[in-house]
Amino acid sequence: MKSINKLFSLFLFLIVSQAFYAQSSKEILVLSAVVKDKAIPDAQVIFQKNGEQSIPLYTDGRGKVQIPNEFQDGTDLTIIIKKEGYSTLVSKCSCGGLTYAISPVMEELDGMRIVLSWGSAPNDLDSHLSYQGGYVCYHQKDASQANLDVDDTDSYGPETITITNKIQGKKYVYAVHNFSDKDNSNNNRLSTISRAKVYVYIGNTLIRTYSPPANVKGTVWIPFIIDENGNLVDVGDFKNATSWEGVRSILRDYRFDAGNAVVDADAVQESADLNKQGERAYHSGNLEESVNYYQEAIELNPRNGQAYSNLGLSFQKMNREAEALWANRKAIDLAAGNKANVVRASSYYNIAKIYEKKGQWNNALQNYKLAKQNNANPVYDKAIVRVAAKVRA
């Protein structure tokens, strides 16, 4: 059925809108991540290269922008896409001919949005999300507190899955399926030519970007899982499946056995150095800059718990509460050493304060109690009494 729908969609796309959406290798297209084929005009696109002056441009009425001549080789190019009401997208690329989908700001504290974009081939990549009691893909677009906003079948994307409320205590597994080549497991087109990228958003922030490793055979790419506490755990595994049911079976089994990324010593050191630069920016009052440094540190070493803890502080200062929840939970997960209990207690306390501010009394009370379990503190006792009264009221 999907093959028929795909052919029909492709036919309509070519006949009705080819002139509108097709872009050359010297331009990029900016679309909405949640409304199919909705172009975003007047989005600022900043082109950057190390050692060269940045060039800010704006998308036209069709959502397109021409790459400046001096940047068209794509070497060491970074683009930053900004639009009021949307999360800022930052991508290192060679960008020519690609589509970028920007995500509307999410209001939910425990929400998450996962956006898949790719190049001209393969035509059809699919997003899949598996968790206990729910499954989201093109075949079934809605599940408990999660849905597929956009299903794309004719190259570029986006394919977007929105988790409106991450259910605590449940593990989620996300995957990309190369539907176009589903019957040929002995191919590496997904990892080699797709130019696929997965963008993960929380609140107002793009928190992680994933790209597949090169020259790996397989039709199913599993870039990450979301663990029971809401933490992203990097995976990067490849499997094979010939149908959506096959992907579902892989992900169901995978929820019980996911690996952790291995980080080399040089990356660990570089991550620590970036974290220190973030701390200097934070203490200088440059919060946006500090966030950028902390995120770069985490990209290099996903187990840098101190960077997550610092990131949570910056987000709280910026009133980005959903992002602060996520960062504090990850700091809890990675806490180690003789101060682990103190770190966990402080992070639980910060989480509880966010929930209390929102009037979510049960969640606040639970996290204040967890703070006290990890480290005795009169402040935690007072908070428990205060919020318990709200729960009983």
**3 state DSSP class of 343:** helix
Give helix 321-334 / helix 340-357 axis angle, nearest 10°.
160
Residue 17, pLDDT > 70, answer no
Judge whether 328 and 231 are in contact, CB under 8 Å. Answer: no
Fold of 20-104: Immunoglobulin-like (2.60.40)
Q: What CA–CA distance (Å, rounded) separates 255 from 233?
A: 12
Instruction: Give the residue with greater pLDDT, 264 vs 274.
Output: 274
pLDDT more than 70, % of the chain = 92
Lowest mean pLDDT among 18-27, 31-40, 308-317, 376-385: 18-27
Average pLDDT, the chain: 88
Residue 7, pLDDT > 50, answer no
Comparing CA positions, the residue from 113, 86, 115 lying closest to residue 100 is 115
Q: Tokens representing 117?
A: 């974009």
69-96 pLDDT per residue, tens: 888 876 788 999 999 999 999 888 888 8
The predicted structure's pLDDT at residue 114: 96
Q: Which residues of 179-191 are buried (b: 16+ CB within 10 A; e: fewer)?
A: bbbbeeeebbbbb
336-386 pLDDT per residue, tens: 888 889 989 999 999 999 999 999 999 999 999 999 999 999 999 999 999
Residue 259, pLDDT > 60, answer no
Instruction: Give the residue with greater pLDDT, 89 vs 257.
Output: 89
Q: Which residues of 249-277 are buried (b: 16+ CB within 10 A; e: fewer)?
A: ebbeebbeebeeeeeeeebeeebeebbeb
User: What average pLDDT does this structure show over 166-193?
Assistant: 92
Comparing CA positions, the residue from 46, 24, 176, 160 lying closest to residue 104 is 160
Highest mean pLDDT: which of 9-13, 121-125, 255-259?
121-125
CATH superfamily of the domain spanning 265-392: Tetratricopeptide repeat domain (1.25.40.10)
Peptide bond into 378 cis (omega under 30): no
Q: What CA–CA distance (Å, rounded) separates 330 from 324?
A: 10
Question: Half-sphere exposure of 191 toward its Cβ, with a 13 Å CA cutoff?
Answer: 21
Residue 19, pLDDT > 60, answer no
The predicted structure's pLDDT at residue 2: 54
Comparing CA positions, the residue from 55, 103, 102 lying closest to residue 78 is 55
Give 63's contacts (C-beta < 8 A, 6+ positions apart).
29, 30, 31, 39, 40, 41, 43
Q: What CA–CA distance (Å, rounded) separates 65 from 348?
A: 44
